[in-house]
Amino acid sequence: EVQLLESGGGLVQPGGSLRLSCAASGVTFSSYAMNWVRQAPGKGLEWVSAISGSGDMTYYRDSVKGRFTISRDNSKNTLSLQMNSLGAEDTAVYYCALAIWTGTRPTYWGQGTLVTVSS
Which residues sit at the interface with other proteins, rule CB under 8 A? 35, 37, 44-47, 50, 59, 61-62, 95, 101, 103-112
Residue 56 or residue 62: which is nearer to other proteins going by CB?
Answer: 62
Choose between 30 and 61: whose C-beta lies nearer to other proteins: 61
CB 6 to other proteins: min, Å: 10
Phi, psi values for residue 56, rounded to 5°: -85, -10
Of 82, 65, 64, 62, the closest CA to residue 73 belongs to 82
17-37 CB burial, b ≥16 within 10 A, e <16 = ebebbbbbeebebeebbbbbb
Q: Which is nearer to other proteins, 106 or 117 (CB)?
A: 106
